[in-house]
Structure 1
Amino acid sequence: MTRYAITGASGPFGRGVVGHLLAQGVPAADLILLSRSPDKLASFAAAGAQVRQGDFDDYESMSNGLRGADRMLMISALKVGFRIPQHTRAIEAARAAGVGHVVYTSYIGKEPDNPSLAVVDHRGTEEALRQSGLVWTSLRNAQYADALVEAAPRVPLRTGEWQGATREGRMPVVTRDDCIRSAAFALLAPDTANRTYNITGPECLTYQAISQIIAEVADFPIRWIDVTPEERYAFFDAMGVPREAVPDHSVDAIPWSSDDIVSMEVGIRDGWFDIESRDVELLTGRSAQSFRDFALSRQTDLRALVAEGAGR
């Protein structure tokens, strides 16, 4: 009997993975679900899962919460600049608790000179896993299509303008559900030890192409504007987005720092994210959904954003 621990299990990603594991026939009693807010997992506890307190900022809660687990899905923390100490603490707790295999939700990107601060965080975590002596699997998830449909277009669908410092650089996008399915299968698979997978959609796109797909699906004209990194910083400064990451901040559905966003856009511009992969299909047996198809599935929501902007 194998017991599976999932960190951040009360969030959308964690809950999705739990649902896939149960659908694959994993008994609820074999699931150890960690969260800073265990009460949010009451429905899974009622089904028989073990629900425990687990906070990346609290080593004791992690080491106690992971006891009895054989495999662990470590869902990445959100904030750039905070991840490496948080993840290292969780890895040390996993080793102390006797966990044998850690599957980690990392981030796409070439190295070693990628300027993206997010990539720096995730490669630091991958190195900590390699040095831990634990068996590991790294799932390098691409940019979520969900964020590019739900959050990124909010301003463009009000103003008709979408700006960025990415120029003609291309990047892959992937739906959160494809990442969730990949994580669930990687956690269960017997042959993913010490392997890295690039979890991407079927194609790489420029941000200009992404903006035009959104425009077509929303039936609202959007003009793409190339700007410099300095102009991008000024845009976020005007919105009140901090340059460096702080523990809690969100402006207009953007819960990140401008250093995070701009460094990633420069990385896209310079080709550090131009990676295509079929690893979603390799892991799950099903092809990843394209960005256009995903956007079409959210057409009603996009057109509602247009209507909301028109009413202001």
Structure 2
Amino acid sequence: MTTIAVTGASGQLGHLIVEHLLNRGVDAGDIVAVARTESKAADLAERGVTVRHGDYDAPETLDAALAGVDRVVLVSASEPGKRLPQHQAVIAAAEKAGVSRIVYTSLIRASETSNPLAPEHVATEEALAASAIPATILRNSWYIENYTAQIPGYLAQGAITTATANARLSAATRSDYAEAAAVAALQDAEGATYELGGDTFTMTNLAEAITTATNTDVRHHLVSVDELVGGMVQGAGMDEGTARFWASVDASIAKGELETESTDLADLIGHEPTSMQDAVRAAL
């Protein structure tokens, strides 16, 4: 009997990973959902999953959360700038618990991209390599939901404004990435690194899909990185440092750094990832 713990189970990705483990036939009693806010995992508890309190920012909670666990899916923390010590706390607790393997959700091309989110993922991968626990690295590309969640704004403005140079990127839904994590937790793939990306499209393709699905004209408006920063500061009230951080993600996309020809995601989950057009329709 293998017990699998999923950290961040009160968040969207972690919650979906637990659901996919259940969908793939894992007994609920063999799953531990580690949640900072246990009430957000109440539906999992109702299905028989063990829900334990575990907070990345409170290392003292993690030892009990991972006690008796064989494998851990370490869902990367959500706050840039704080992730490395949070992840190190989970790794340390996993070592104390005698965990046999960790599956970590990293970032696509983490070791070679200019994406500002990458350094903490690279540092976490290095911490895992230095640990005695074998690790499987899932380098996830962008979530399609990063865009579909903004559809109301796109419709109101009639435009998607980016500094991506209309370069292609490979994105998938949270559910697809979650399913891949569940599969990886069930497989014996110590030391493997997977580059995960789904449907490949441009922001113009996205605008066209939204236009078709809503019968409302949405265009892709291309700007420079500096212009995008200015729009975030003046239009959204964002401070310049934060605006430049997120605008540099678009600069990374413009370099093609979020595009991949890897079929690792489809190979892991056993079917084609959700298309961008289907994700747009589902969001509406």
TM-score (norm: length of structure 1):
0.85
Cα 1:111–1:8, aligned 2, differ >3 Å: closer, same or farther? closer
Q: How does 1:149-160 map to 2 (within 5 A)?
A: 149-151=148-150, 153-160=151-158
Q: Which residue of 2 aligns with 1:143?
A: 142
- Quote the residue 1:253 is aligned against: none
Structure 2 residue corresponding to 1:237, chosen from 233, 238, 247: 233
Q: Which residue of 2 aligns with 1:271?
A: 256
Checking the alignment, whether the CA contact within 8 Å between 1:117 and 1:259 is kept in structure 2 is no
**3-state SS, counterpart of residue 194 of structure 1:** coil
2:103 and 2:135 in contact (8 A); partners too: yes
Q: Does 1:90 align with 2:86?
A: no
Cα distance in 2, alignment partners of residues 83 and 243 from structure 1: 22
1:200 aligns with 2:185: no
TM-score computed with the length of structure 2 as normaliser:
0.93
The size of the alignment, in residue pairs, is 283
User: Secondary structure of the residue that 2:117 maps to in structure 1?
Assistant: helix
Matches within 5 A, 1:217-232: 217-232=213-228
Asked whether the 8 Å contact 1:6–1:73 carries over to 2, the reply is yes
Inter-partner Cα distance in structure 2 for 1:34 and 1:286 = 28
SS of equivalent to 2:152: coil
Which one of the candidate residues 152, 158, 161 is aligned to 2:159?
A: 161
Q: How does 1:171-186 map to 2 (within 5 A)?
A: 171-186=169-184
Query: 1:249-305: CA deviations, max 9, x gaps?
Result: xxxxxxxx424421211111122222122112211211112112222333xx2xxxx
The residue number in structure 2 matching 1:22 is 22
Which segment is superposed worse, 181-190 or 12-21?
Answer: 12-21
Q: What amino acid is aligned across from residue 214 of structure 1 in structure 2?
A: I
Query: For 1:59 and 1:156, how far apart are their aligned partners in 2?
Result: 41
Alignment CA distance shift 1:72-1:110 (3 Å): closer
Q: Is the 8 A contact 2:57 2:86 kept in 1?
A: yes
Measured at CA, do residues 262 and 193 of structure 1 come closer, stay the same or move farther in structure 2, by a change above 3 Å? same
Residue 215 in structure 1 maps to residue 211 in structure 2: yes
Unpaired runs of 5+ residues, structure 1, are 245-256, 302-312
Helix, strand or coil: the match of 2:26? coil
Per the TM alignment, residue 135 of structure 1 is displaced from its structure 2 partner at its CA by 0.8
Show the 5 A alignment for 1:67-146.
Answer: 67-109=67-109, 111-112=111-112, 114-146=113-145
Per-residue CA deviations over 1:175-231 (Å, capped at 9, x if unaligned) read 1111111111111112x21111122114x2222222222222222112222211111
Deviations 1:137-183 (A, max 9, x none): 111112111221122x3322111122111103221010111111111
Aligned residues with identical type, % of pairs: 33
Amino acid at match of 2:67: R
Show structure 2 runs of 5+ residues with no match: none
Does the 8 Å CA contact 2:110/2:119 hold for their aligned counterparts?
no
Task: Return the letter of the residue paired with 1:54.
Answer: G
RMSD value, Cα: 1.8
Aligned to 1:250: none
Q: Distance in 1 between matches of 2:232 and 2:54?
A: 33
CA contact (8 A) 1:170 1:271 kept: yes
> Match of 1:154, SS?
helix
Deviation (angstroms), 1:243: 4.3
Which letter does structure 2 place at the counterpart of 1:30? D
